[in-house]
Amino acid sequence: MGASGLSVGRLGLGTMTWGGDVAPDTARALLRTFVDAGGDLVDTAPAYGGGRAEELLGRFMRSDLRRDDLVIATKAGFGTHGGSQVVDTSKGALLDDLADSLRRLRTDHVDLWQVHAWGDAPLEETLAALDQAVSAGMVRYVGVCNYIGWQLGTAAAWQRAVPGRARLVSGQIEYSLLARRAEVEVLPALQHHGMGLFPWSPLGRGVLTGKYRGGTPRDSRGGRDHMAWFIEPYLDARSNAVVDAVARAADGLRLTTAQVALLWVRDAPGVTAPLLGARTVQQLSSLLSVDDQTLPKPIVAALDDVTGGPHLGRE
């Protein structure tokens, strides 16, 4: 993971829908499938299912596999309270979140603890919570999520400025063929500070699977009232053209549209591990099956061009 000593597999398993759209039995099957295929990184958060995702993961580590089989990444500083989304990155709030996460996960430490979002608390206070958690042994490595370029660079430089502070080792942000904004400032900042990248929604919030080409399926996230807002930005004409291009490439390579979209992200410069938010074992197994495959360079170049131009990090 970047310049750190932490190693993870090429793909991560996301748990945002656990305890909500994904039932416990399905979550257990997803985790088992992922680990059996050699995966280890599982990304969760207190905000996922109001803590339910962490609770399920903690239960499965007692009943289905060993704690040492996983690299657990969780977050702090963001949640839903009283029906409203609240960002609180104060030191007290972050450490309270961590204590609750450890209880739900039934473990004495997490491998990667991430600030879920940029908040209003003084940055030095937020980062002091990371230092304290690492010093106390509750956290092995730390990172940030959803920081834009200047925020990430400022936080990373602050942690590097004084020996003994916990260096940031990773950043997590949306990144896919439909969302390449991270290439402008975030990816260069991560590279400069020796940090790894975990792309969330590498399949364009599910749109790059091609399932929305003929409309919005009722059983999709876009067909559900509580998630339609999340999908809608990628149901425009530009996104449709990108999906069509990915589908043509997939047909020629005898892959699925989702597999091509994933391979493009997984092998993009600076990426550590895309986070897979599969909701069924069938979806996950299909994505895991292309572990030993890569896209031909002409296909990569064509997809770069149709989605915004050459990736400056490619050779």
- Residue type at position 56: L
| List 48, 141, 212, 234, catalytic entry | 48
Clarify whether 234 is annotated catalytic: no
Give dist(CA 255, CA 257) in Å, integer: 7
Give dist(CA 138, CA 156) in Å, integer: 21
- Cα angle 293, 65, 137 (rounded to 5 degrees) comes to 95
Enter the tokens of residue 311: 């990736």
Q: How many CA atoms lie within 13 A of 137 on its CB side?
A: 2
CB 127 within 8 A of CB 155: yes
Give dist(CA 44, CA 61) in Å, integer: 14
Enter the tokens of residue 61: 């580590």
**Smallest Cα–Cα separation from 260: which of 296, 224, 232?**
296
DSSP, collapsed to helix, strand or coil, labels residue 185 as coil
CB 120 within 8 A of CB 152: no
- Cα angle 58, 60, 62 (rounded to 5 degrees) comes to 75
Strand ranges in 120-195 using DSSP code E only, listed in sequence order: 139-145, 168-174
| Catalytic residue positions, numbered | 48
